Structures are given as C-alpha cells and as structure tokens.
Structure 1
Amino acid sequence: MRKIFTVILLLLVFFQSGIIQAQDLLKSTDLSTLKVDYLSDSDIAKIKLQLQSNNATIDQVKPMALAKGMSETEFDKLKIRLGGQQTTMNVTSTKDNQKIDARETARKQEKIVNKKIKDTVNALVFGSELFDNPTLNFEPNLNLATPVNYVLGPGDEIQVSVYGVQEFNATIPITVEGKVDIQYVGQIPVSGMTIEAATQKIKAALASVYSTVRSGQSQVEVSLSGIRTIKITLIGSKQPGNYSVSSLATVYNALFLGGGPGENGSYRNIELLRNNKVYKNIDIYKFLVNGNQSDNVGLKDNDVIRIPAYTHRVTIEGEVRRPGIFEMKAGETFKDLLTFASGFNDFAYTASVNILQKTNKEFKVKDIQTSEYGIYKPLAGDVYRVSKILNRFENRIKIEGAVFRPNIYSYYDGMRVSDLIKQAEGLKEDAYTNRATIIRLNSDLTTEVTHVNLDKVLAGDLNADISLKREDIVTVYSILDFKEIYKITIDGEVKNPGEYDYHDNLTLNDLIVQAGGLSGAASNRVEIARMRKSKIIDDSNPERVELFTLEITPENNEQLNVFVLKPFDAINIRKMPVYNKPEMVSISGAVQYSGKYVLASKKEKIYDIIQRAGGLTAVANLDGVKIKRPIQAKQIEDLENVDLNLGKKDSIQKKLTKKLKEDLKYSTIPVEWRKILKDPNDNTNVTLFPGDEIEVSVYNESVKVIGNVLLTSEIPYSKGKGFGYYLDAVGGTNAKGWKKKTYIIYPNGKAAVSSSFFFIRSYPKVLPGSQIVVPEKPETRKMSTGEWVSIGSVITSIALLIVTAFKP
C-alpha cells in the first residue's frame, strides 16, 4: 500500500510540474468544456506563442491537458490547428544556428586541404610516392561510430538524445570552459573525458530531471556531432609548419598534409612529441611493406611531429621487383632489404649480388653469396646490383624434323639418340632413316656436325646410338625434303585456268576436273607442251619442247583416251573458231522503238540500228544524233603508258588519267544524220561497238547560253542570228567572261570555236538546241608600281646611251 501511495504521489508531482510549465499556455483549470472549433485564429496564435515562450511542444503538454479534462478528440483538433509542430524539442546550436534532426548521424568538420608539390628529387626513395598520391590522404572517416576512447574538448559538439516515453534532442557545443549546457539540467563539465565517460555523466544528470530515464522507460544516447580542430606542428617535412587538423586525424594524415619527409628526411624514425616528450616512434615501412598501421596513432592538440635526417640509405638496382633507394635501421640485413624491394624478379641471378661501396678515399666492389644474405648488414651508401641470369640452359637438348613431337627437352647424363627419339614419340612415316645430323656445341662455343644412321639406332646398335650432350640439336630429315615440287599449267577454255601441283599418275582428265571442267567455248583441240631433258647437247635439234596435239570431246570432261601428264607440262585448251555471244547496243530518245538491240553483224552501223528502231519520230532533231561510247580500261592504260614529256612535277597527265577514270565514263561521237540520209555510205555512218548508246534528242527551238554571262538563260532560236545576238540577249559577258574564246556545243555533241583573220573575228553558226559557252578568263598578275618604275628606269638608261652614242 505504501508503494502505491508513493507512485501516485510521484505522478501528482509530475503533473504539477507540467501544469506549472504550461500555466501561461492554458489559463483555465478546467478544459473539459473547451471546443477547439470555436477558437479564433488569434487564440491559436496566442497558444503557439505561449508554447514557444515555455520552450515546449504541444505533445509535451498533452498529459496536463488531458488531466484538466480535455478529451483526446479535442486535443487532436488543437494539434492540427497548431500545424502539427514537431514532437521533439530542438535546441539551436550557437555555432551554425541550424536545427539538427535526432536521426541525423553525419558529423561536421572543417575541410582541411593542402596543395601538394610533386616530389621529383626523392622520386626513387622508397615511400615517397605515398605522399604524392592524392587518393591516399589518410583522412579520418567522420561517419564511423564515435570512438569510445575519444577525449572531448572545447570546440567539439555532442548530440544528446532522449527517446522512449519522454523525448529530448539537442546538439550542444562544448564551451571554452569545457562544459555543455543542457536545458533544464544545467552545465556539466566534460572536457578531458572520453565520450564513454561523458555519456555516463550526462545520463546521470538527465535522470535527475527525467524520471523515465531513471526508471529505464527512456534511453539516453550521446554521440559526437561536431569535430573540433586542433593545432599540430610538422618539422622536417617537405612543407613544414603549423597545421590545423581534425581532432580525429592521425600521424599519417598529418604527414600527408606536410608532403611527407623532406629531401633528407627519415622514413623510419619519425618522432611524435607530446608534452615535450617522445610519445611514439613511427616507422612508415611497417605500413608500406606489411600494411601495419600500428604506428598511425591519433593526434592531440599541440602535438609535434619531428622528422629527423636519415642515417643509413642504400640503393638496390637491377633485377628486383621494386628497385630504388631504401632506408635501413641498425641490425637489419640484406635479406630485410630484399623484403623491402619485394624480392628478386623472375630473371634475377640470385647466386650472388655485387655491391659498390664507398670508403674514405674511393670506391670498392664486394660480392655477397646466397649464404650471406641473412647476416650481411648494409652500410650507408651501398649500391646493390642484381644482374640477370645467363641466356643459356644447363640441360637443354633439341630434336626437330620428321618426328611426331619436335621440341626442346631436358637433357640427363647418359641420354642417347634413341632416348630422345622415344621422348619425341618416335619417327614419322616420311623420316629419312639413312642419316640424321647432330649439331654439337663445343666447349669453345664452336660447332661440329655428327652423323647418325637411324636404321642402326632403331635396330639397337649401341655404336650407332651415340651419347648426347647438353645443347645438342638433332635433325631428322624427311624424304619429302629431297623431293622437288613439280607444277603443271593449264590454260584456255577451262573454268579455273592456272598452275596446279603435279602428282604421280596425274592424267589430263584429272587436271581438267581439277580446273573446274571445260567451258562452253572449248574446242576439240588440245595442245600439250612438255619440256625436253637430255644429258647431251644436240645442236642439230632446234626444238625446245615436245608438242602433243590431242582430240577431245568438248561436251565431256572425261575423255576416252587417258593421257598421263608429266612435271611442268603446259596444257592449252583451244577455243572454238566461232563462238560469239550476242552483244548489244542501246538507243534512246526520239525514235519509234527505243531500247536495247543485238548487233546482228560485226559491221552493223548506226543507220541500221535506227532503221531497226523504226526510224526517227516527227519531233526528232536531225542535228541531235550522237553516240556515247564507254571508255575502255585499255584506253586509260594506254594514256598512262604515254610519256608526254611534261616533267616530273607537272600534273597534267595525272589529271587527264584521273578525269578518264572518275569523271568521264563515255566519249561522244557526233553523227551527221542529214548526210547519212543522203548517202548511207558517208563516213559519219560509223560502225557500232558493243555497249554503245545512241541518243536522238528532241527538237528544241531555243539556244542555251551558259558560263560567265550576266544571266544564264535559254533564248528562242532566231534563224540567221549569230553569237552576238544571243550574248546580248543574256546581258553580255560578266567581268570574268572571255568572249574571244566563246564556243558552241551542237545537239549532236560536236563543238566549234570562234576564229579570227586579220583582226576580224568570226563565230560559228548557231543551230536550234545548241549551247553557247563563255569560259572564264585566266588570272594574270598585274605589275606592281615598283616593277613599272624599274622598267621606266631601264628605258631611260637605254635612251641616254643612244643619245650619247649619236652625239657628235
């Protein structure tokens, strides 16, 4: 009964404190009749002001409001009218004046950077690259859990959270006096305490105010939200000086900011001074070689990192995985140096290492053997040179040629030829067993050849089965190596003429089938030329080859007579005397029946084809008949073979060849159709070639004027009018027009140019459908004023000479 009374009494005290805090908020002692819907906006604003003045939220006064008789429904309405204020109290930080959510875990820390200077002096010193790499800066991770041994101090910020039945959240800075000021609790000294100890102290202080913390219904959490900045000093680094770093920073982070040890700085005996005493000796090699960060301790305010000068440095070069300059400690051996250099590489000579040492007066050379690696202690300035292994083999032997597995094999004492052949899986079927050769390397590096009879070796003759030596090369020959490669040639009317391999008993039928068979143009005549062989010279017989003429059946690839061929025979399948496939020309334009026509004879002329096409239509231009003939590849080849004697640098011939290949696909043959109609035997009635294209243009009653004229246009044809009339009709030539070189292109493709006689220029006749072309004047360089002055001076001088010469 006494316990129940005590609990009731505590509840009354709690509610009474809540009433006292909210007395300014709700004046009335009875809220059972309060209707939130009847409250005005000014009433709601007053309630908000009262809550703010008491640093309370609507949820914190809920127990008091319910105790005064307010229903849950009315309280919810009031909460909505107030705008759903936050259910937890936030304390504004004096540092950044920002509200921090209770669930926020990211910490704040001033960004600390330092401009890096690339180390070129100590580039070969092992460890220097550690401080040149911008991606390896050893910055502390601010988002990790708070270290329990972290010591708080002025400038830090802690976040205090109470959650459970009661809630409280605030971010509180530690003052310069080393205290935190918690609302309703007061000031608590935490400077110099670990975060774990400070948590217990703050929790005890909160328990005196928050009863649910004391009873365990609410939990307290203290974490680090803002990291203070501390001052440290670097001595002996590339960039010595005072640095501001995070209180979570470590020695390696500070060394990175200072650029690492200076030119002569030690990497293995760095001192961390704290309170004017050596707190820790740092050896960076522990991290570089083993990844051990035991020396990477945290820093405190006013720490000094001193980098003394090195005492022992040595150089290792050559065939090691990491050549460079290394710092050695007292008592360390060459084996430790090899560990720092990551050991020998795959091609190192490891039996001994050459050392270049310095004495008081000069250099000296020393060699250490494998057995001394673990006991030899390097001296300051030693240069270790690790050389390559020799490019030779201690047990190599080789077999090549007609064996199933030619390769390099390992040699052993007592090895014989038969043993090596057995290792190579035996001889191939084409092996030449009468003789094999062994090329042997003598002690003076000269070579000699030894011969072996493989028949006797395989028969078990020990005298023939000689012992081998290191570096022997055994060659087993193939009978195919001694056989000449014969060829045979077939040409003419076969599908795939060319050169083929000769085989024993090869017949003419075999070769014809191999060449794809006979073509449709093959005749029954075959000529075979065979080389002549003789041991004596017969000058009386002038024949160089022996000729055979055979009769075959062109319709069949298999001939009745079997003719056996011999090496280097040349076979020629002749073509039928008459075997012409139909060849065509085309005709287009103003004819009755345009299209393609087969050349009925080898001498078919243009007149014949036009007649076969039904003749010209009524709209045909009798002066507009022409032939377009494709330019043949042989014409281009002939042009390329002609030497125009234009000089090596002249590009005219190249331009002509390029124009024929790429621009001009046809050559044009003008046709005088009026003359042909009068006399079909006229020379303009040309014989047609396969591929020719006959074009008959439609009568056009206009004349086209193009080129360098003011207006490119077509002018209606006017009988009897000349060049001048049509040039005037388009406004004449422009500034670049070359009138005296004007030419005309007639409808049949023929061209004519103007000519002059005794300063009288005559122009060709203009016909309907013609084109008048005005070319562009070539560019000429005008003489400068200086050139005119020079000419005038020369003329004046000549005049003076003449006057002087004729003066009496």
Structure 2
Amino acid sequence: MKKIRYVLTLIFIIVSFSINAQNIFKSKDLSTINVDNLSQDDIVKIDAQLKSNNMTVDQAEPMAISKGMSQNDFNKLRTRLNNLSNGSINNANNTNQEVENKNKFGRNQEKISNNKVKDSLNSLIFGSELFDNPTLNFEPDLKLATPMNYILGPGDELQVSIYGVQEYNASIAVNVEGKITIQNVGQIAVSGMSIEAATQKIKSAIARVYSTVQSGQSQVSISLGQIRTIKITVVGGKQPGNYSISSLATVYNALHLAGGPGKNGSYRNIELIRNNKIYKNIDIYRFLVKGDQSDNISLKENDVIRIPAYSHRVIVEGEVKRPGIFEMKNNETFSDLLNFASGFNEFAYTAAVNVIQKTGKEFKVHDINENDFNTYMPQSGDVFRVTKILNRFENRIKIEGAVFRPDYYSFTEGMRISDLIARAEGLKEDAYTKRARIIRLKPDLTTEIVNIDLSTALTGNLDSDIELKREDIITVYSVLDFKEDYKVTIDGEVKNPGVYDYFENLTLNDLIVQVGGLTGSASKRVEIARMVKSDAIKDSDLNRIELLQFEMTSDSNEQVNNFIIKPFDVINIRRLAVYEKPQMVTVSGAVIYPGKYVLANKKETVYNIVTRAGGLTSVANIEGMKIKRPIKQEQIDKIKSIDLNLSQNDTLSEKLTKKLEEDLKFSTIPVNWEKIVKDKNHFSNVTLFPGDEIIISTYSEGVKVTGNVLLTSEIPYQRGKGFKYYINAVGGVDSKGWKKKAYIIYPNGNASVTKSFLFFRTYPKVTPDSQIVVPEKPETKKMSTGEWVGIGSVLTSLALLIVTAFK
C-alpha cells in the first residue's frame, strides 16, 4: 500500500511540474519550479505565453516573485529567454511558428514546398495552369478537425490530456514500432489504427491505472499533434520522383508538387496505385469544370500516382470563351468539349462548327451542324474552328436627317415610309418635304437611289408611300441644308472689327451694337461695299461692286437712318481726320527740368524740347548729347524679309534679328548741340518721334579704357595726349588684344576707329568722357608642319621649272 501511495505521489509531482512548465504564469505556486530542469521546449512555451499576453520578461518579474519563485531562479529564466531571442533567426522563426500553430490549431506539420516554374510549353493544354500556380498548392488545412478515419503511424504525435480530479498533459510520439509510451500506463500499440479506435484503446489503458478516470471523476482527451510525413511516388509528371509529404495530403497536393502531368501526360485517367493495385482513377476535368473534388482523396504511405500518356486530344480555336487543347474520353461528344471550353462567346457563329480531321494519309474538312453537337464524337487530332458571325443584319433599317429620332430600327415585311417616320417620332419643323432619298441595297450588293415625294407619302398615297426593304437608308433633308452661309464684314473705328454671321433683317445698328459699339475716333463717314448681282455681263459697266456712302451720328450707337445690311456687305467706319492722342518724349541728364514732354507739333525738334526743359546746366557736356530711339517691330520685320542670299546653314540673319530684339532695343542718334545753337536748321536738330529720349551727359574729365587691356580703368584727360598714351597708362594690351583695330566711342554716341595705310597707323582723337575699346584678336589656324613641307615642295618644283626654262 505504501508503494502505491509513493508512486501516486511521484506521478502527481511530475504532472504538476509539467503543467507548471507549460503554463507557468497561471500557476498559484512557483516555489517548486527549478529553471535548470526546464527543457528548451518549455522555455519556448514560456516565451510564447509571454507574447500571447503582450508581456515582457521585466513585466513578468514581480508576478513570478510574488508566487514564490526565487530571484535566482528568475534571473536564470531571464537569461534563457534572452538567449532564445538572440539565437538563430531562422530557427527561432520556425520554432515560434510551430508553437504558434500548436497554440492556435493544436497540431503542427513540417513545411513542404516545391518551386514552380511557369509552363509556357504546355500553356494551351486545358488544366496546365492548375499546377504551375504557386498560390494553388492544395496543402492540407491544419485548422480542420482530425478526420476520425485518419490512420496513425510512426512519426505521428498524440496530445494526451487528463483533467478533473487528476491532471496530466503530455505530447507522445508514435515510435518506429508503432507504439506510444504513457508514464505509469506503459506502451500501447496504435500504428495502423484509426484515430477513433486508438482513442478508445488509450482511454481504456489509462482507466486501468487512474481510478478517477474509470469512475468518471477525470476525463481523457486525445488529439493529433505532430503529423507524420509519408513517402509517395509520382510517375509521369513534369517533375517525377519520390516525395515526402504530409500524411493528411491528398492526390492534388502531390500532383501540384510534381508539376502536374508531363508533356504527353493524361489529365483524365490518372491512376492512384495502392498495394500494387489501381485504387482510384482520377479525372482532373471533374474539378476544373464542376469543382468536384471527389477524386482528391487522402494518400497513404508508399502510394504511387501514375500519369499515363493521353489517348485523345483535340484543339478548339476561335470564338469560344476558353480556346485551347483538350483531352477527350471515348464516350464524350462535341457538347462535352464545348462545356470544357466554357461555351461559345458572344461573337461566335453557332449554327455550325468546322473541324479539320486527320485520315491515314491527309487532312479532311467536316462541318458539324448544331443538331449534331450531341452526337459527334471528337477524334484524336481534330481541330475545331469556331468562326465569327457575319457583320450584317437580317432586319435592320435606318432613317437619318430632319426627324426627331434618327437611328437604326428593326425592319418588318410590309413596312412603309410613313411607318418608319412615325417610329422616329415624326418630322422636324425644318424638314424638306418635297423630296426624300432612299439608298437601297440591291440583290447583287450594289446600291441604288430611290427618290420619293415625302409630302405626298404622308397623306396616304400608296404610290409615294412605298414599301421599304432590309438595309434601306432613308434620308430626310432639312431646308437649312440648302441655305447659304452668309457673312458680313465690318472694319474701321469699331471696338471689335471682323467677319460676322448674317441674319435676315440685319441692320447697321444691330451690327454696331454686336461689335461693341463705335470708338471715340469714329467719324460720321460710312462706306459700304455691296456685291453686284446680274444675269448679263455689261462691258460698259466696269464696276465690280456697288459702293454706298452716307453719314451717320458718330457719337451714338443708335442711328436715325437704320440702314439694312445685305449678305457679304463690307462696312467701313472711317476715322476722324484729326484724332491723335498726346505723345511724349523724355529728357534726362544735365538739363534744368528733366522729365517727360508732350510733342506739341509734328515737327518738334531737339532744340525746342531742350529749350522747354530750361536749357542745359553749367555741368552739361555739350559734346555728350544723344538721342535713344526705340527700335520698332516693323524695322525688325523688314530685316527679316530681306533675302541676304546666304547658305542654308548660315545664321547671320537670325543672329542680327536676335541682337536687335534682345540686346540693343534702341538705336543711338548723335547730336551736335554747338552746331544746333548756331544754326537751327542743322541736320543734328532732328525731328523727334514718340518714345525718344534726349540724354545730356554731365561733363567728365576721365577717359575710360576697356576691352583686352591689362587694367580696365578711367584715366584723367590730358590735353594733347594721344590714343597710345591712354592705352599705355592701363598697362597696354593683353595677349589677346588687337591694338590696330582699337576704336573710341565719344560721349554723343559717335565712334571712330584706328586707320592704317602701309606702315603708317592713325589713331582717333581722344576727348574728355570718351571710351577707348581694344577688341580681341580673331582666332587664326596655324599651318601644320605638313602644310609647310607641301608649300616648300611646290616652290622647289616651280624654281626648278624656271631654271630649266631659261637654260
């Protein structure tokens, strides 16, 4: 009796320890836990439990200490948990996934995969896409309840739990001998038994040891945990061979791993061989067409899936929803084939199907009528071609033009013109009823025109209200189609001159208001040019138009004489003889009253404006007076229009235009004030234009030297010093300077260049406030050694020729 009590106590302690290791933080007493005795699986379960509760190790420490765990043991637990987190990433992920699967579904299975490659060679074979799609793998669902007919074998793992008065929980694997070992119960043979039969056997064995189970105070639960792997063989697939797969796997899962049938493999007669006998014939089309998975049965150890070669294949082309290559059985008809191809599409000609058949020597063509679809048996190699329906209508008719609903309508025998117009909801108000046109298709597909009197046809006259035919096109004309598109033109002193539509009874008042009214410069003179119409040509009358002139009230848009406009009239509102807005010029620089001045008359000169500006100041440089005149667009356009007779690639004209538009913008007119004061008729006293600017510079005693010199500077003017003096004063010209082409710009805008004659060079005179510019030398291409040698050879030959000639 004492031995029995000792054993029961030991079992209770072991069971308690196991339960606490698996659910450590739900236990009320953790003082008995020894972390050193916990397995790696126990640490993984504790880590998963922390994650499921969204807790960290630090957050769990106060709770574990309060339940009796020593600080030393918890530190060991923390270290083991941290080592678990810092381990191999792949191993940790796999382990955590397995634990998660067990927590969620109560079972686990080794992951089995096979890389899929898109099969382009067999892509037209119906069903081939089922086996090269990686997202469709037919893997067994571990979340489903264990099938009661599931046969246990070595490698399976059972989850055995006892709950109630006595508690026990363990994962027990089926060993290679087909047995499981339960503590204090012993070994139980379960291999080859269904899960249901094994459950009853295990419960009976436990009840013989645990009295509370026999009395019903404790209950026993048995479920499938780890699922074993079985080996099967696939023959005739794209990737034939031996496969290790889940014991819950089915035929379709194995076929998917093997890539499905090979190039010549059958999809309709796949054999599942078990114990060297054909256990099941599998037709994949049942699944593809109907979604029937009755052939998708579970596999067993050492099953063989044999995929034989096909016996009959046919091709369907053309207007079906799923064209391709299909496998047929002996008793199947064309209707079955059409069902495999998902039927005709919306453009198919369904009355008959053309089929190309193979004989022993050649091909032949056969037509299958619609009535023979259920009886014709497709032969291997048949090519079925489903053509499109004809692009024609058997009962179409059309009406267009001046009706309320122009469109196509259905044609019926005996339909007349009045019937079709009634269906089009009648004629529009602008309909031309004297004539309508019918374009009719003749039996030989040529067309003819039939004209009818529409007004008579609508009164019931059957001679005019003729019968229509299929494909007739009836055109009802509109009176607006015959109306000419009349225009009138108005120009001159109106706000929006242009060409406008003509309307009946259009008057001059109407047109003036339509164009926005008269401008302030409009005179009372109006000229209207009117088209001349005549049936006869009069040689004595040379007039091309009729010219009408009259006067109007120029300060009002409403004329007393409301002139009637006719089509194609050209109206011109003349401008006032004198109507000019004040225009200004600008005076700037050394004058007493600089600013803008209005041109008082058309001959306003420089002297007049400067005098109105109060004259020159004491610091004015009379040699530095000039006029800046804006370059007008018409001047640029004139340059563009000149043909310089340049080559196609020459851009001289384009560069000149661009320089005027973007760089210069103004032209400079020098003014000699000293001469103007003495003689008001001097040519420098030019007449000013609107926008001109008179610039009077302030007297300066410096001379600017710029360009390609060593130092750009302004040198004080010294009477009697010449051009060279100022260039030398800035250090002379640099390496790129072209001294002999240097020039000077005077204050009034005049310019003078250096002149050369033989060995003599004349430099321009220097005045105060002038500017000397030294340009850059143009780049020159030096002659190469080869060119010098060539010239020397020519000269030598020439000299030899001369010597020879004078001998």
2:280: which partner in 1?
A: 280
Shift of 1:351: 1.3
State the distance in 1 between where 2:611 and 2:185 align: 124
Match of 1:558, as an amino acid?
E
- 2:491 partner SS: strand
2:137: which partner in 1?
A: 138
2:459: which partner in 1?
A: 459
- 1:350 partner SS: coil
Q: 1:533 to 1:151 in 2, by over 3 A?
A: same
Match of 2:713, as an amino acid?
E
1:690: which partner in 2?
A: 690
Alignment of 1:224-263 (within 5 A): 224=225, 229-263=229-263
1:148: which partner in 2?
A: 147
Q: Is the 8 A contact 1:213 1:220 kept in 2?
A: no
Q: Is the 8 A contact 1:709 1:774 kept in 2?
A: yes
Match of 1:138, as an amino acid?
N
Structure 1 gaps of 5+ residues are 1-5, 24-35, 37-43, 58-72
Q: 1:331 to 1:547 in 2, by over 3 A?
A: same
Q: 1:22 to 1:509 in 2, by over 3 A?
A: closer
Shift of 1:122: 2.7
State the distance in 2 between where 1:668 and 1:172 align: 110
Q: 1:202 to 1:717 in 2, by over 3 A?
A: farther
State the distance in 2 between where 1:193 and 1:655 align: 101
Identity value in percent? 62
1:81 matched to 2:67? The reply is no
Q: 1:273 to 1:51 in 2, by over 3 A?
A: closer
Shift of 1:145: 4.0
Match of 1:109, as an amino acid?
E
Shift of 1:574: 0.7
State the distance in 1 between where 2:624 and 2:353 align: 98
1:714: which partner in 2?
A: 713
Shift of 1:632: 2.8
1:538 matched to 2:528? The reply is no
2:371: which partner in 1?
A: 371
Q: Which range moved further: 384-393 or 794-803? A: 794-803
Shift of 1:204: 7.2
Shift of 1:320: 2.1
Q: 1:238 to 1:618 in 2, by over 3 A?
A: farther
Alignment of 1:29-68 (within 5 A): 48=34
Match of 1:320, as an amino acid?
V
1:323 matched to 2:323? The reply is yes
State the distance in 1 between where 2:709 and 2:195 align: 97
State the distance in 2 between where 1:297 and 1:476 align: 72
Q: Which range moved further: 728-737 or 305-314? A: 728-737
Q: Is the 8 A contact 1:161 1:169 kept in 2?
A: yes
Match of 1:114, as an amino acid?
N
Q: Is the 8 A contact 2:354 2:367 kept in 1?
A: yes
Shift of 1:567: 1.6
Q: Is the 8 A contact 2:269 2:307 kept in 1?
A: yes
Deviations 1:491-521 (A, max 9, x none): 1111221122222222211221222211111
1:113: which partner in 2?
A: 114
Q: Which range moved further: 698-707 or 366-375? A: 698-707
Q: Is the 8 A contact 2:356 2:383 kept in 1?
A: yes
Deviations 1:758-798 (A, max 9, x none): 24444545566665555554444445555555445545554
State the distance in 1 between where 2:14 and 2:738 align: 114
Shift of 1:267: 2.6
Alignment of 1:393-792 (within 5 A): 393-587=393-587, 595-614=595-614, 625-672=625-672, 676=676, 681-694=681-694, 713-719=712-718, 736-745=736-745, 750-765=750-765, 773-792=773-792
Shift of 1:524: 0.5
Deviations 1:141-177 (A, max 9, x none): 7663454355555555666677889887766665545
Q: 1:382 to 1:50 in 2, by over 3 A?
A: closer
Q: Number of paired residues?
A: 758
- 2:225 partner SS: strand
Structure 2 gaps of 5+ residues are 18-28, 44-62, 85-89
- 2:655 partner SS: helix
State the distance in 1 between where 2:158 and 2:723 align: 104
1:271: which partner in 2?
A: 271
Q: 1:272 to 1:21 in 2, by over 3 A?
A: closer
1:391 matched to 2:391? The reply is yes
Shift of 1:452: 1.6
Deviations 1:654-701 (A, max 9, x none): 333344445554444455556556655443444333334455566666
- 2:397 partner SS: strand
Shift of 1:707: 5.1
What RMSD in Å do the two structures reach over aligned CA positions?
4.5
What's the TM-score, normalizing by structure 2?
Answer: 0.80
What's the TM-score, normalizing by structure 1?
Answer: 0.80
Match of 2:376, as an amino acid?
Y
Q: 1:607 to 1:299 in 2, by over 3 A?
A: farther
Deviations 1:46-90 (A, max 9, x none): 98578769x999xxxxxxxxxxxxxxx999374363566989x99
- 2:69 partner SS: helix
Shift of 1:228: 5.1
- 1:535 partner SS: coil
Q: Which range moved further: 411-420 or 600-609? A: 600-609
Match of 1:144, as an amino acid?
K
Q: Is the 8 A contact 1:314 1:383 kept in 2?
A: yes
State the distance in 2 between where 1:125 and 1:612 align: 102
State the distance in 1 between where 2:665 and 2:239 align: 77
Q: 1:580 to 1:246 in 2, by over 3 A?
A: farther
State the distance in 2 between where 1:259 and 1:406 align: 59
Q: Is the 8 A contact 1:591 1:620 kept in 2?
A: yes
- 2:520 partner SS: coil
- 2:475 partner SS: strand
Deviations 1:638-664 (A, max 9, x none): 222221111222222233334444555
State the distance in 2 between where 1:160 and 1:701 align: 117
Deviations 1:1-43 (A, max 9, x none): xxxxx9xx999997787689999xxxxxxxxxxxx9xxxxxxx
Q: 1:448 to 1:674 in 2, by over 3 A?
A: same
